[in-house]
Structure 1
Amino acid sequence: MQKLITLITSLFIFTINTAQNKFGNPEVDPIQIQKTYEQWSVYQNKKIMLSRDFTALDVASKEVSKETFLDQLANGNFIPVRLKSDANIYVYKLFKIQPKTDSSIKATINQMGFDAYKNFKMEGTAFPKFSFQDLDGNLVTNEFMKGKIIVIKCWYIHCTPCIREFPQVNKLVEDYKDRKDIVFMSLAEDSPEQLKTFLARKPLAYSVIPNMKEYMNDALQLNSFPTHFIINKEGMILKVLPNFESLEIALAKESKL
């Protein structure tokens, strides 16, 4: 009996090590980056992009679906760490949060996991019914979206991260100016008067649709800003993204298809 237990244990360890060797070792020490909130935050913001396509491993180095991975981040006690790989290959693995780790790290990861899980579940669904006028009086509907890739930025005037992205998203519009099949539009919570005054000082190259707070709350169920959507030519949500960096990568991939 003892030999059987030993054999099973050895096989279990071998399986974990094999999976670990297949995908590489952690690019950082998973325990060390939990020492302070600041240390973890710097790593998280630079290296972990939950909206991208990646291979997901659980705490036992078993490959799992992205949905399962995000669910465990939202409801469990884990941090995600990227494993060493080629620059364009992404493998994220879950590691246990240590007992003495700052509780703010777990709370932040749970919230990030919740948001990423919710966004992921929206992908592949039809964009909600839509019929509104932008600040220039142009009517925008779901029919208008068909046959085009639609890039949508959801924001409001007093959202600092939303405004910080303006130079980057404006450059993105410039980069794709020759692509007539790609349209950039934005949904803003604020009134037309507030937006016109604000945009006179802080121009945005996207078309802007005002008074979208109720639509973003009810139809899109957004609770964090900015949020970006990429809608494919069939009117389906391709990607839901939390920042410009993830938007830029996803749009580059979709525009080449």
Structure 2
Amino acid sequence: MKIFLRVFTLVFFFISCTKEKASHITFSGNIRNNTENILKVTNYNSTLSEEIAIDSSGNFSGPVVIQEDGYYFFQIGRSYTTVRFKKGRDVHVSIDANDFYNSMNYSGDLKIENNYNVAKSLRRANLVGDPKEYFVVPLNEFLPKIERTRDTLFSLLSKSELKLKDRELERKIIEYEYLQTYNNYQKFYNYHKKIDPTLPDDYYDPILNMDTDDDEIFRYCRAYRNLIIENFRLSSKRDLAKDPDLKIIDFVKNKISNINSLDIREQFASMLIRQMNEDNPNLDDDYGKIMGLLTTDRMKDKLTLRYNSAKSTKTGFASVDFNYENFDGGMTSLQDFRGKLLYIDVWATWCGPCIKEMPALKELIEEYAERDIDFVSISIDSKNDYDKWRKMVPEKNVGGIQLYDADGLNSEFMKAFSVGLIPRFMMIDGEGKIITAQAPRPSSDDVRKFIDGHLEKPRVMKLPNI
């Protein structure tokens, strides 16, 4: 019995000592020319969400509970930036809302760390300038450009008053921010030029070979967290191509077996949540396997939500109803479309890829105008952006039926379909049953074939005017 008690005491002591304790800090400041009532504080994985009231003079002061040191985010209206918090250290900032980023100045605890972060962000923004001009150049011009940016930031760091340990940390952050910019070259180039740049076969090796087990940098560096996702994408694509019999779940199990950081293990395992979709024939089995890889209640709940959504949005299941504001007046529900196919587009005014699909969507709407199909665009803009929605609809003149979902992603319809990334396209039949929760995009090559396959009569092509 004494041996058992000693073992229990040691185990309890070990668990108690290794679990990080939360710390209350005070975040305060003054915002000149302020028009907002609330300041929001969040962290990288959304496990923290605090709101601090701003008084009529622009002053704010409130507690923030942090589990660990690192960079956090705070938002005032539409202005959004990072702030460094440490346990037991209060932070004070002064801002002019009319010149948010340039006016930011920290005092008191962590003023050196946070003012350095502000200076670095401003210097980088000045060096990058117009992203199109920065990225849309030949590779032999782009690489020297991002190296100059990195070296300039190294120089700024060397002149800072940061302690040696913080300098080492910030140097890593600059390196990973450089690597993220390097990784983004193809995406930005393609977005603006509509073609891919010519890259050497080993171009992505630095991302494939990066250290994926740095717990401290994971907490401090957003670029590193983004690169973890890119490493997953690239390495899974490579390994699955080498071994067609390899299952994505087994790939992840192998991937995380050599990773010590619980946060990074969770990040890799969470990538599997997307396997919870209505087209997965092994949905139940995969759910159990993925659940076994997750460690936090937050991710387990997210997996279960996606699993339940996938079960309820399978082809042939009745769709959850909606009842949204119609741009032309009144309210419109799913019931109003009975008897016709329904192609749904979920979008927002701030979503660039959504707007990029609009010309192709307009073509579809015009092409199928005489057919038994309705096209519905549902905006999930926030209430603050309602007027932008009212303005953009006539400006873009896409056509179809334009609806507004005041609850956004929190509405029952959006939650039922696990809408997270937009644009999102779905198709529902004339009886209100789901055809697919993931319909082809308007710009895709197979969207017409897909629609035609669910119409009773072949589509009649419109001939050009001669």
TM-score (norm 1): 0.55
Shift in CA distance, 196/114, structure 1 to aligned 2, threshold 3 Å: same
Select the structure that is richer in helix.
Answer: 2
SS at structure 1 position matched to 2:453: helix
Asked if structure 1 preserves the Cα contact closer than 8 Å seen for 2:409 and 2:420, the reply is: no
Higher relative contact order (CA 8 A, sep 6+): 1
Q: Which residue of 2 aligns with 1:25?
A: none
Q: Distance in 1 between matches of 2:375 and 2:435?
A: 15
Tell me which of 400, 403, 411 is aligned to 1:206.
400
Helix, strand or coil: the match of 1:152? strand
> Which structure has the greater CA radius of gyration?
2
Alignment length, in residue pairs? 183
Q: Deviations over 1:87-132 (max 9, x none)?
A: xxxxxxxxx98x99xx9xx779635434565575313221212223
Q: In structure 2, what is the Cα distance between the partners aligned to 1:247 and 1:136?
A: 31
Cα distance in 2, alignment partners of residues 174 and 134 from structure 1: 20
Deviation, 1:188, is 0.7
Sort the Cα spacing of 1:220 and 1:196 in 2 relative to 1 into closer, same or farther, 3 A: closer
Matches within 5 A, 1:78-227: 78=251, 110=272, 112-114=274-276, 118=306, 121=311, 122-123=313-314, 124-179=316-371, 181-190=372-381, 191=383, 192-214=386-408, 217-221=411-415, 222-227=419-424
Kindly provide the CA deviation profile for residues 202-247 of structure 1, in whole angstroms up to 9, marking residues without a partner as x.
3322311113434654333121211111110111111111651387
Residue of structure 2 equivalent to 1:253? 453
The CA deviation at 1:147 is 0.9
Per-residue Cα deviation, 1:44-79 (whole angstroms, up to 9, x for no partner): 8xxxxxxxxxxxxx828xxxxxxxxxxx65xx1459
Change (3 A) 1:77 1:109: farther
Write the letter of the residue equivalent to 1:253. Answer: G
Counterpart Cα distance in 2 of 1:200 and 1:219: 25
Change over 3 Å in CA distance of 1:212–1:113 after alignment to 2:
farther
Amino acid in the other structure paired with 1:250 = F
Contact 1:135-1:210 at 8 Å conserved across structures: yes
Q: Describe the superposition over 1:113-159 as per-residue Cα deviations: whole angstroms up to 9, x where unpaired.
A: 34565575313221212223310015422331211111111111112
Secondary structure in structure 2 of the residue aligned to 1:220: helix
For 1:208, what is the secondary structure of its paired residue? strand
5+ residue gaps, structure 1: 1-32, 45-57, 61-71, 80-95
- Tell me, in whole angstroms, the C-alpha distance in 2 between the residues paired with 1:242 and 1:232: 12
Q: Which amino acid aligns with 2:366?
A: E
Contact kept in structure 2, 1:150 and 1:182, CA below 8 Å: yes
> Percent identity at matched positions?
19
TM-score where L is the length of structure 2: 0.32
Query: Bigger shift: 208-217 or 167-176?
Result: 208-217
Q: Is the contact made by 2:405 and 2:411 (CA closer than 8 Å) also made in structure 1?
A: no
Give the superposition deviation at 1:161. Answer: 1.6
Residue 59 (structure 1) aligned with residue 245 (structure 2): yes
In structure 1, which of residues 237, 240, 249 is the aligned counterpart of residue 437 of structure 2? Answer: 240
Helix, strand or coil for the counterpart of 2:436? strand
Aligned Cα RMSD in Å? 4.2
Unpaired runs of 5+ residues, structure 2, are: 1-203, 209-229, 238-243, 259-264, 281-305, 458-466
